[in-house]
Amino acid sequence: MEVAQETLTPPEQKHSVEFSGSEALLEALMIEGVDTIFGYPGGAIMPIYDALYDYKEKLNHILVRHEQGGIHAGQGYARTSGKVGVVFATSGPGATNLVTGLADAQIDSTPLVCITGQVFAHLLGTDAFQETDVINITTPVTKWNYQVTDATEIPEVIAKAFYIAKSGRPGPVLIDITKNAQIQKFDYKGYTKCDHIRSYRPKPIVRPQYIKEAAELINQAKKPFIIWGQGVILGSAEQEFKAFVEKSGIPSAWTILGAGAIPTDHPLNVGMLGMHGNYGPNVLTNECDVLIAIGMRFDDRVTGRLDKYAKQAKVIHLDIDPAEIDKNVKSTVPVWGDCKETLPLLTALVEQKAHTEWVKLFNEYTQKEYDAVIHEELNPTSPEMTMGEVIKQLNELTKGDAVIVTDVGQHQMVACRYATLNKTRSNVTSGGLGTMGFALPAAIGAKFGAQERDVIAIIGDGGFQMTLQELGTIMQTGIDVKIIILNNKFLGMVRQWQELFNERRYSFVDIQSPDFVAVAAAYGIAGKMIDDRKDLPSALKQMMENKGSFLLEVMVTKENNVFPMVPQGCSVAEIRLK
């Protein structure tokens, strides 16, 4: 292992001191700028927690109620703060409870460093109590993992972990530390931050020829179309992206993880892509002549049938991860590199244009969608409330400045479609893995990562019951998170598919729920349930003005469907309005 030498030694730290492995770990976290840790103690990680007792004033540890809650909280923290989320868990079941969150973070490129305790090194492979082979279990769902059996390795390994987690395309890293390495004393000589690893190139070399070729295609295009993803946000390239969009005059649409990179109401922001995206961006993907993809990976929920996806277009793909280019959609011009670096180079070469007629066509499709779908969803005439009208009225209170954390299901698609987002890092959701139970713990982490902002979790009645124990974390920390449960008494997205594609054979989607307000009250959290439209404005206002967390349960219509929709196996141009 070779790392660059950039030793950062705190002024109060002696040149050499005897530290335990646990103390060396905590010193490393402080030098890396960690301020919050989400975790749950146990036998194999107990020495680290014992050392943490003396660091309580320097490192804020949040005791979650389940390790999955801890890692989702770490994800939420990373997504709003832009920093690396840090999670502690013990061995065996503690470590395996992290796997769902690791998979979620891996596919959504979320930077995490997870520290797991492990049995003593001499017990490895003996099926000792609470021993699991966490390295082999987590290899497919981490960017890097490593098992430490000697305390002297800890400073260098932790430095490498943080560098890998946050550099290039971010992702989760897991470091498994045996109990003997946590206890072992050694001669600690300071901490060396890592900024280089031999054979690891986080950012590919930018090739000016490809930038030039891309600009030429864009300048010749009659119907260019930009689709952007979370890479713009991960690269902190929002301003560079906005400059490129405005100079080129190209209509631009987003994947759900890219939402918020430019404001919702920007005149060139034409909406959301994908299975439940907006009508125009989906249909017109198959009419554009140049498709410019920026920091997105052509996920199947965005492309629909690949053999019918944008076959008429020349494709320019900007991405920091060379493995994503040509993986699903063949590019005409691949632009490797960090979009914070490549976008200004491209902007300098593109011509100032307006594409007025082309943008007007998107607007016409938007109006068609509004008339067929959006108007009724946001202004329903039915006696029962819709999810869309809840989001509409919430927008009026937040003015688009809140962090919106969504779980997975119909409410997720509705919130992503209709929430107003004026700021970057405002949309926190489980994109690639689609993890139910994500929102409540992620909202807790999101609030710790952006304490000055309102954080609102929008959750379905099914997903909420997967991690509702994290209400205990809210109770103990006193964190201020607003929770909206959109309750349709169904596992709504599965029910929608069963209605449309399985002849309404509703197989095990009718879910019963407890009294959510009473459950919240048991945790000392204020709450309210409403089932009448006339109570919605005042209830939302009460929630937002409440000092501290608040749970609002809104009973919505049971069998409402999310449209538009691209049926599975269809082209994006075959999107259905009804």
- pLDDT tens profile 357-403: 999 999 999 999 999 999 999 999 999 999 999 999 999 999 999 99
Which of 130, 469, 476, 542 is catalytic? The answer is 130
Considering the domain architecture, whether residues 318 and 409 belong to the same structural domain is answered as no
Structural domain ending residue among the three candidates 168, 193, 218 = 193
Which of 272, 385, 466, 493 is catalytic? The answer is 493
SS3 20: strand
Which of 179, 193, 242, 447 is catalytic? The answer is 179
How far is it, in rounded angstroms, from Cα 134 to Cα 502? 40
Considering the domain architecture, whether residues 103 and 155 belong to the same structural domain is answered as yes
Considering the domain architecture, whether residues 442 and 545 belong to the same structural domain is answered as yes
Which residues have CB under 8 Å from 107's CB, separation 6+?
431, 432, 433
How far is it, in rounded angstroms, from Cα 9 to Cα 17? 12
- Length of the chain as a residue count: 578
Q: Is residue 227 part of a domain?
A: yes
Checking if the pLDDT of 124 tops 70, the result is yes
Q: What is the CATH number of the domain that holds 154?
A: 3.40.50.970
- Average of pLDDT values for 526-555? 98
Considering the domain architecture, whether residues 357 and 404 belong to the same structural domain is answered as no
The separation between the first and the last C-alpha atoms of the chain, rounded to the nearest angstrom, is: 57
Tokens standing for 570? 């269809």
Residue 129 annotated as catalytic: yes
Which residue's entry shows tokens 């009026």? Answer: 396
| pTM confidence score | 0.95
Q: What pLDDT digit, counting tens, does each position of 24-53 carry?
A: 999 999 999 999 999 999 999 999 999 999
Considering the domain architecture, whether residues 506 and 404 belong to the same structural domain is answered as yes
Q: What does the pLDDT read at residue 492?
A: 87
Q: Produce one character per residue of 118-141: b if its CB has 16 or more CB atoms within 10 Å, e if not.
A: bbbeeeeeeebebbbebbebbeeb
How far is it, in rounded angstroms, from Cα 249 to Cα 247? 6
Burial of 18 (C-beta count, 10 Å sphere; 0-12/13-18/19+):
exposed
Torsion 297-303-305-306 (CA) sign: negative
How far is it, in rounded angstroms, from Cα 63 to Cα 385? 37
SS3 471: helix
Checking if the pLDDT of 254 tops 90, the result is yes
Considering the domain architecture, whether residues 243 and 342 belong to the same structural domain is answered as yes
CA atoms within a 13 Å half-sphere pointing along the CA-CB vector of 317: 20
Considering the domain architecture, whether residues 186 and 319 belong to the same structural domain is answered as no
Q: Where are the beta strands (DSSP E) in 311-375?
A: 314-319, 333-336
Q: Is residue 465 part of a domain?
A: yes
Confidence of residue 578 (pLDDT cuts 50, 70, 90): confident
Q: Are 270 and 417 in contact (CB under 8 A)?
A: no
Considering the domain architecture, whether residues 332 and 435 belong to the same structural domain is answered as no
Q: E strand or H helix at 138, and its extent?
A: helix 134-138
Structural domain ending residue among the three candidates 170, 193, 216 = 193
Q: Is residue 570 part of a domain?
A: no
Q: Is residue 373 part of a domain?
A: no
Largest CA distance in the chain: 73
Amino acid 210 reads: Y
Which residues have CB under 8 Å from 198's CB, separation 6+?
2
From 157, 118, 154, 160, select the one nearest 22 (Cα to Cα).
Answer: 154
Checking if the pLDDT of 10 tops 90, the result is no
Count of structural domains within the chain? 3
Residue 369 annotated as catalytic: no
How far is it, in rounded angstroms, from Cα 216 to Cα 209? 11
How far is it, in rounded angstroms, from Cα 174 to Cα 185? 23
Q: Is residue 131 part of a domain?
A: yes
Considering the domain architecture, whether residues 338 and 398 belong to the same structural domain is answered as no
Q: Is residue 199 part of a domain?
A: no
Confidence of residue 4 (pLDDT cuts 50, 70, 90): very low
Amino acid 326 reads: D
Q: What pLDDT digit, counting tens, does each position of 90-119 carry?
A: 999 999 999 999 999 999 999 999 999 999
Tokens standing for 28? 């490393």
Q: Produce one character per residue of 197-222: b if its CB has 16 or more CB atoms within 10 Å, e if not.
A: beeeebbbeeeeebbebbbebbeebe
Considering the domain architecture, whether residues 355 and 226 belong to the same structural domain is answered as yes
SS3 315: strand
Tokens standing for 440? 């409540």
Considering the domain architecture, whether residues 395 and 355 belong to the same structural domain is answered as no
Q: Is residue 568 part of a domain?
A: no
How far is it, in rounded angstroms, from Cα 376 to Cα 364? 18
C-alpha distances in Å from residue 460, one per residue of 369, 407, 489, 493, 516 = 25, 7, 9, 10, 12
Residue 563 annotated as catalytic: no
Which residues have CB under 8 Å from 374's CB, separation 6+?
388
Confidence of residue 15 (pLDDT cuts 50, 70, 90): low
Considering the domain architecture, whether residues 334 and 442 belong to the same structural domain is answered as no
The residue range of the domain holding 521 is: 383-555
Which of 27, 32, 67, 240 is catalytic? The answer is 67
Confidence of residue 12 (pLDDT cuts 50, 70, 90): very low
Q: What is the CATH number of the domain that holds 223?
A: 3.40.50.1220
